[in-house]
Amino acid sequence: MARLGHPSGEAGIAEACRSFGALQIISNSASMTPEQIVAGAAPGQAFGWQLYVQHDRTKSERMLARINKLSAIKFIALTLDSPVTGKREDDERSGNVIGSEAPFQGDSNDTMPTVPVEDPVFKGMDPTLTWKETLAWLAKHTDLPVVLKGIQTHEDAYIATQYTPQVRGIILSNHGGRSLDTAPPAVHTLLEIRKYCPEVFDKIEIWVDGGIKRGTDVVKALCLGARGVGIGRAALWGLGAGGVDGVKRTLQILTDETKTCMRLLGVKNVDELGKQHINTRLVETEIYDGPSGLEGCRAKL
């Protein structure tokens, strides 16, 4: 809902990403249509499309048909971390609403009535997604690769590798902690994968979403095997503070901090980063420490 922060909305974020070669995943609840957001894309600029599968599958299928026509969108980010609406007390207290003048991309270019933020998406979500049925359904409606957003256990990360090449990556995320209080942060899941099924890193890309506020956070995630990080909140703060220039400033700060951290570690290239550069002992005391559960996963495949 980027236009709540600035009139340039998601297109403004896209313009800033263009300057930095950053990947933008367009939200299913974006305040602009996907066509509007990618209209100014530079050659080679890449986007993903975040999909919330709806109870009425025809709505999702119509959106996928539109996405298939946009060459700048390179993959579908299938949302898994919010099968139902969480108890969002901040939203309840603030009474955030979308005015009727704000365009909602939905499955048309129409405006929408005044409703709570994200309400149209969550009220129509299908909470019954399964590995076999949902991925097979997606394959019928798009040839785009799939990135699974919202993986929170090493078991699911392992299962995801069994659905390549359709599934090309996973995003470790707890939906910003807004869906389930005390859900594991992405760094815990990242460490679980390293402990129980490190082969996942060689089979699919792993991205981390949540808690990335400084360049040092970016470096920590890369040290633990992530190939990329999500900074949605930081981008929105930059947009609200200064529009397109605010997002550019945010990306520049993170870029500078990341480079500085790497230099102070004596590292020239990202591929040189590894676990030897980070002390995880304290965090490791907080992650799951029981049986791997992978035999049960294999038996169900």
Pick the catalytic residue from 6, 154, 175, 188: 175
154 catalytic residue (yes or no):
no
pTM over 0.85: yes
Pick the catalytic residue from 81, 156, 209, 217: 81
Chain centroid to CA 5: 20
Q: What is the C-alpha to C-alpha distance for residues 177 and 38, in angstroms, rounded to an integer?
A: 29
CA torsion 133→138→144→147, rounded to 10°?
A: -50
As a whole number, mean pLDDT of residues 68-97 equals 82
175 catalytic residue (yes or no):
yes
204 contacts 160 by C-beta, under 8 angstroms: yes
89 contacts 45 by C-beta, under 8 angstroms: no
pLDDT tens, 83-107? 767 676 776 777 665 444 444 455 5
81 catalytic residue (yes or no):
yes
pLDDT tens, 248-275? 999 999 999 999 999 999 999 999 999 9
pLDDT bin (cut points 50, 70, 90) of residue 113 is very low
* Predicted local confidence at residue 119, as pLDDT: 52
29 contacts 120 by C-beta, under 8 angstroms: yes
239 contacts 2 by C-beta, under 8 angstroms: yes
Q: What is the 3-state secondary structure (H, E, C) of 201-249?
A: HHHCEEEEECCCCCHHHHHHHHHCCCCEEECHHHHHHHHHHHHHHHHHH
Give the percent of the chain with pLDDT over 90.
77
Tell me how far CA of residue 25 lies from CA of 17, 18, 45, 153, in angstroms.
Answer: 11, 13, 12, 22
Taking the alpha carbons of 184, 186, 191, 195 in that order, is the dihedral positive or negative? positive
Q: At what angle do helices 57-68 and 131-141 cross, to 10 degrees?
A: 50
Q: What is the C-alpha to C-alpha distance for residues 39 and 114, in angstroms, rounded to an integer?
A: 27
Lowest-confidence pick of 25-29, 60-64, 241-245: 25-29
> Whose CA is closest to 175, among 91, 283, 59, 83?
83
* Predicted local confidence at residue 215, as pLDDT: 98
Token code pair at residue 7: 């009139």
Pick the catalytic residue from 52, 188, 196, 209: 52
DSSP symbol at 125: B
Residue 205 phi, psi dihedral angles, 5° rounding: -80, 145
Lowest-confidence pick of 21-35, 40-54, 70-84, 105-119: 105-119
Give the percent of the chain with pLDDT over 70.
87
